[in-house]
Structure 1
Amino acid sequence: MTVMAERPTANGTEPHSFEALLGVLDELDVPDGYQAEIIRGNIVVSPWSKGYYLDVMELVCEQLRPHLPEEHRISYGPFLYVFPGVERAYGPDIHVGHRSISRSTSNHLDGEALSFVAELTSPSTRDDDRTDKVEVYGRAGIPVYLLLDMQEEQATVFWTPSAKGYESRCTRPFGEKLPIPEPFDCLLDTEGFGAP
């Protein structure tokens, strides 16, 4: 289930700025088991992932860690990356960036400083992961976006970011190896990514 909060308004007719939405997001009392993001001008609250998603996230991190650019870190967890130019704020399932990204007291991290993101779809977030996030991550210049479609059991890697999203993509069913392009330049083994 996804809950969408209407965009807050100042006088009932005019929307607040993106910064105001971030403030509302910071103050939002999200129920246990849910996370909140800003997608297309709305605060979207969706349930946390299924248990086995943790195994998949750890498998991705373990395989990519030896191929990270110098001074980059790979992690998963509830961190909010903001994209002010397109008024989006996402909490990607897996994220890679230079260690300097986290040297901040803010809980709004710079999305354009990321070098890799991965999203594991759920029924409530699948459409946004496959459309809005492809465009936003590509326009932000993030070199690699990995989309793990947990419902279709297939992995798609996007690269060559552009003003329209990404110009290149490759899809493989779970169980096969997927080439992850520069700056990682490795094969991701998707064996064990499917539901138990």
Structure 2
Amino acid sequence: MTVMAERPTMSGTTESQSFEELLQTLDALVVPDGSKAEIIKGNIVVSPWSKGYYLDVMELVCEQLRPHLPEEHRISYGPFLYVFPGAERAFGPDIHAGHRSVSRHASTHLDGEALSFVAELTSSSTRDTDLSDKVEVYGRAGIPVYLILDMQEEQATVLWTPSVKGYESRVTRPFGERLLIPAPFDCLLDTAGFKAP
């Protein structure tokens, strides 16, 4: 299995495990508090704690989008695992929105295709995956809006019009500007305050 920290380290392999076996291994894995484990390209990847100010950014995004949520939807941040069986991936997006029914069961594996919005805040250990693999997986799953907050480049990218190739539409703005979040939200996101203190 691959365990990823700020500097990736290898501690075995999962090449012979099926996606279902990887999910079982992930469920049995003891992950340090504040870290999350995901399945990315056939490996279990553990990401480290986020920087403190990321919490402020996540709360700002949720506060701004909450009034524009589709009916019966909720937006939150935190360690929830969304599964994409067709892509053999399982992600724990930094911010996620979906219909309330998504979480009304006892499983720890939530339906990724039921999401209406995801956002990822990049870190040095997750940036490449956030900008590439997740773009393709989230788009193919039909998630209407994917927001990438590139904390290293201090810019926000919104992607929409999901397709089999990922997303067909995208706009990038530097932190400090307003960014249109398309349907089903149709609102402006103010990115002032997203920069590192």
Distance 1:4 1:194, change over 3 A: farther
1:46: how far off?
1.4
User: Does the 8 Å contact 1:5/1:42 carry over to 2?
Assistant: no
- 1:129-140 mapped onto 2 (5 Å cutoff): 129-140=130-141
1:118: how far off?
0.2
User: Does the 8 Å contact 1:112/1:140 carry over to 2?
Assistant: yes
User: Does the 8 Å contact 2:14/2:42 carry over to 1?
Assistant: no
Alignment root-mean-square deviation, CA: 1.1
Amino acid at match of 2:170: R
SS of the residue aligned with 2:71?
A: coil
User: Does the 8 Å contact 1:82/1:109 carry over to 2?
Assistant: yes
Q: Which runs of 4+ in 1 moved over 6 A?
A: none
Partner of 1:154: 155
Pick from 8, 15, 23: which aligns with 2:14?
Answer: 8
5+ unaligned residues in a row in structure 2: which ranges? Answer: 1-5
User: Does the 8 Å contact 1:135/1:164 carry over to 2?
Assistant: yes
Amino acid at match of 1:22: L
Cα deviation 1:76-126 (Å, max 9, x = unaligned): 000000000010000000000000000010000000000000000000000
Partner of 1:18: 19
Amino acid at match of 1:20: E
Aligned equivalents of 1:86, 1:23: Cα separation in 2: 17
Cα deviation 1:111-144 (Å, max 9, x = unaligned): 0000000000000000000000000000000000
Distance 1:40 1:104, change over 3 A: same
5+ unaligned residues in a row in structure 1: which ranges? Answer: 10-14
Q: Identity rate of aligned residues, in percent?
A: 80
